[in-house]
Amino acid sequence: MKQYGAEFLGTFWLVLGGCGSAVLAATFPEVGIGLVGVSLAFGLTVLTMAFAIGHISGCHLNPAVSIGLWAGGRFPAAQLVPYIVAQVLGAVAAGGVLYLIASGAPGFDVSKGFASNGFGAHSPGGYSLFAALLTEVVMTMFFLLVILGATDKRAPAGFAPIAIGLALTLIHLVSIPVTNTSVNPARSTGVALYVGDWAVAQLWLFWLAPIVGGVIGAFAYRFIGSEER
């Protein structure tokens, strides 16, 4: 239960910090943090939580990461469902707190997106379904590649949280214009449920693509990272 509690709190922090930066601070009048600031916020949530709870639960904070770690031989199948449930609940709870905060401002309109992920008319740059699908698969693939490599017993000890946090920052810098960046089904669910409508209708892609990408990344690392010669 301590592991599941850690995943709940860690995912809560990721959604509150990452999506909160997008909803509350990205375009704040004259001093908004913009795309770079939001990207850095997401990276910092993972970096800080990896140091805080990595030794408790592994700090997955993401169903695609848990499934990818399982596919990579690093995580038991028996814990997949409880981890994913804890992550989604943490994300939804954080979405609720963020909604209560954001609704305290005049003119708040959840239908404007609330940091939800989307494609087509709901992509920040108007990117197609195919572009969104490809982006999410490839970005999650490389995220898992970094996670598995940085946490490999042969990698420099103690630096994994930094590598993983910076990888997530880079992923957001590249893909926010395409999908608003998911690479995390829990993160997508945590805000989409409050928007409803199109955000829920498009949510399937932000479960499917990250999970497929995570599994591909896991198998890719098993191939290149094997100690067999």
> Rounded to an integer, what distance in angstroms lies between the CA atom of residue 51 and that of residue 160?
9
Q: What is this structure's pTM?
A: 0.93
Confidence (pLDDT) at 29: 63
Residue 18 in contact with residue 187, Cβ under 8 Å?
yes
Cβ neighbours for 13, distance < 8 A, ≥ 6 positions apart = 45, 48, 49, 94
> Rounded to an integer, what distance in angstroms lies between the CA atom of residue 97 and that of residue 22?
14
Residue 203 in contact with residue 192, Cβ under 8 Å?
yes
Closest of 172, 194, 181 to residue 93, by C-alpha = 194
Confidence (pLDDT) at 26: 82
Using the Cα atoms of residue 180, residue 143, residue 68 and residue 20 in order, give the sign of their dihedral: negative
Question: Which amino acid is located at 127 in the chain?
Answer: Y
> Rounded to an integer, what distance in angstroms lies between the CA atom of residue 190 and that of residue 76?
25
Query: Could you tell me the mean pLDDT of each successive run of 10 residues in the chain, 229 residues long?
Result: 96 96 81 88 96 95 97 94 97 97 90 92 95 98 96 90 96 96 97 94 97 97 78
Residue 11 in contact with residue 90, Cβ under 8 Å?
yes
Give, in order, the Cα–Cα distances in Å from 49 to each of 12, 80, 154, 173. Answer: 10, 20, 22, 20
Residue 163 in contact with residue 209, Cβ under 8 Å?
no
Fold of 2-224: Glycerol uptake facilitator protein (1.20.1080)
Q: Where are the domains of the chain?
A: 2-224
Cβ neighbours for 139, distance < 8 A, ≥ 6 positions apart = 171, 174, 175, 181, 183, 213
Residue 184 in contact with residue 61, Cβ under 8 Å?
yes
Confidence (pLDDT) at 188: 97
Closest of 46, 70, 191, 213 to residue 137, by C-alpha = 213
Both tokens of 44, joined, read: 């910092």
3-state secondary structure of 204: coil
Tokens 């909803």, residue located: 23
